[in-house]
Structure 1
């Protein structure tokens, strides 16, 4: 082979590699993860330039702990929103599950029983939500608003409005411990995300969840048992809320019946900022993780530079509106 032929072959390979790279970048730019990832990088860059303490190991661990609880709740919320629904009860479910678990352990119930009972309560509330929405045909926002009040009320009545203290020392492992140097709350968060990633992206259940949000009637005509999968989606949301309740109760070493107020809004914000369409059918569990991280980094950075909490609410509100606008415009282009 002469030098000119070799040059042609080499150039062809370079061109093909370049084409594949451009195609990959184009697909990434059109995907739901692109904008939240760029936003996260920009926020991190701004915080690094504004405070030297942002990138310290202690602060990054603190951010991870703060993000973990909202991110775990947001996993269940992602499933619900992808299916075309909404769940406003997650904050109250987290408080109810956490206080019940604490109360059972104070009553000397074995942890191997107390913790699963707390999870079962979260699942039960989710099943109630799912039944009312899927089988009774009630609007998700009304149903979950009602169960939000019911779950919170049960927690307050059962505890008299007082926190439950005196938990055993070992219980702090779930909220403050570590495994081989990795903080337990972060490990639990990553485990929950990994499981849900497999479920949504690699199982028939995940495909059906996307189908429900994309076109529920078409999914029904295709043979999908719509009511059953709606029921399961809300049960998953309740379970995720109860897992977050376990982590928070362990972190505080106290069962707090008033915990989780407005956590549902933070979870919805993480999902929407992460690129999931608020109308359902489009989104990514990875995007939700990035959205939760973006909110956590933003909260942490604004606190470090001394921004008022009231101003922080305004900033987060603007970001949520921007995320919804971007999501709507992307949906228009893809439709």
Structure 2
């Protein structure tokens, strides 16, 4: 086995472990189980977004609008729940709103022939502006006392935070899609060489739209977790 190649491939993991060890030595409370659980809860939000971004980057794109998608889907979900919508349905709706917003990015990039950086920079500003106008700059608080809603961001199952469990579930689903399905192989192919992929009969536009849509979906899910955790959309 080529140790140099293995170290290069695992560089980020080694760096994370080294950082974990250093911080643990500097502060022993860092490895306290309650702190680690809290870290898992916090990391789950960024992790979900990064899972989707992985698909986008593999197609050779970038998405700058993920934070704005999270904000807009959270604000809409929060206002609907505040208006009497069932909180569980509100969470599902947040994911669907995120998926729709993500697909808008994909459509602009593929059929509008706009560079991903420019397209998502524009939608980032648009979605953020819509959120500001919709909420009038104020947080939407005290959304629900529903246990099902609050558990989604604050609860535990078998000692693990629910957001961390959702993160792991989505990780394994998307890992399977990326490594074990034709869709995953086509995603790699599009990012590797679009011309060859086109000649091979791959529907490039569909793959790119899927990548941005799944990113939006996961932004909506991350937004729902954050809103549930705070019981507030802001």
TM-score under structure 2 length normalisation: 0.95
Partner of 2:61: 85
Q: CA RMSD in A?
A: 1.4
1:229 is the counterpart of 2:207: yes
Q: Show structure 1 runs of 5+ residues with no match.
A: 1-22, 257-335
Give the C-alpha shift of residue 112 in structure 1: 4.2
Map 1:62-73 onto structure 2 (within 5 A). Answer: 62-73=38-49
* CA gap 1:133/1:180 in 2 versus in 1, 3 angstroms: same
Give the C-alpha shift of residue 42 in structure 1: 1.0
Give the C-alpha shift of residue 117 in structure 1: 2.1
Partner of 2:105: 129
Bigger relative contact order, structure 1 or 2, given CA contacts below 8 A and separation 6+?
A: 2
Give the C-alpha shift of residue 149 in structure 1: 1.0
Partner of 2:28: 52
Give the C-alpha shift of residue 110 in structure 1: 2.1
- What per-residue deviation string (whole Å, max 9, x for no partner) do you get for residues 186-218 of structure 1? 111111111110010101111111111111111
Partner of 1:11: none
Partner of 1:75: 51
Q: Secondary structure at the match of 2:140?
A: coil
Partner of 1:142: 118
TM-score under structure 1 length normalisation: 0.67
Stretch moving more, 110-119 or 133-142: 110-119
Paired positions, count: 232
Contact 2:37–2:160 (8 Å) recurs in 1: no
Contact 2:87–2:144 (8 Å) recurs in 1: no
Give the C-alpha shift of residue 99 in structure 1: 1.2
Partner of 2:86: 110
Partner of 1:120: 96
| Equivalent in 171, 196, 206 of residue 184 of structure 2 | 206
